[in-house]
Amino acid sequence: MTVRQTLIDRNGQLEFSTPKTHRSRRSVTLTDSAVVILRQHKAQQNQERLTTGEAWTAMDLVFATELGKPVHPRNLFRAFRQIIAKASVPVIRLHDLRHLHATLLFAAGTHPKVVSERLGHATIGITLDTYSRAARHAEGRGDAA
């Protein structure tokens, strides 16, 4: 997967922008199961595009509305909260999934440089400062994050 752009809400108007730093523009390796799910999603999206016809806005987005336009962040957050409630798991913010991912990578013994690159941090120091507790635990020197 390649991170090429970000979506920001400027006073109610959605705009695409470049990621914050050079390292934020990156390729991220996906698991085989994630690739399978994304291919299924793309096939479903292509079917929706055919059904929608000329009303479809071709923007080549992974996650889009039924008309091909960007999903507004508030709608994404609302859907995420519904998924959390249905799953009966502790309430977290969507951004917390990023922290969970980093923590799980450290717990699996992933090298901090790899975690840093995956998250798009400008330096490994940022990663270690942010996730030092998880990194120490992964090395057997502390409690879990």
| Per-residue 3-state assignment (H helix, E strand, C coil) for 47-76 | HHHHHHHHHCCCCCCCCECCCCCECCHHHH
Residue 42 near residue 66, CB atoms below 8 Å: no
Tokens coding 67: 């008309």
The DSSP element (H or E) to which 109 belongs, if any, is none
Confidence of residue 145 (pLDDT cuts 50, 70, 90): very low
If you count them, how many residues does the chain have? 145
Percent over 90 (pLDDT), the chain: 46
Residue 6 near residue 21, CB atoms below 8 Å: no
Confidence of residue 68 (pLDDT cuts 50, 70, 90): very high
- Distance CA(6)–CA(24), nearest Å, equals 10
**Averaged over 87-108, what is the pLDDT?**
90
Q: With a cut of 60, say whether residue 144 has pLDDT above it.
A: no
Among 19, 73, 65, 72, CA closest to 45: 65
Q: With a cut of 70, say whether residue 134 has pLDDT above it.
A: no
The DSSP element (H or E) to which 47 belongs, if any, is helix 32-52
Cα angle 81, 69, 85; round to 5: 10
Q: With a cut of 50, say whether residue 22 has pLDDT above it.
A: yes
For the entire predicted model, the pTM comes to 0.70
- Distance CA(56)–CA(98), nearest Å, equals 31
Rg of the Cα atoms in the chain: 18
**Averaged over 126-130, what is the pLDDT?**
88
- Mean pLDDT (the chain) is 88
The DSSP element (H or E) to which 3 belongs, if any, is strand 2-3
Strand partners, 6: 17
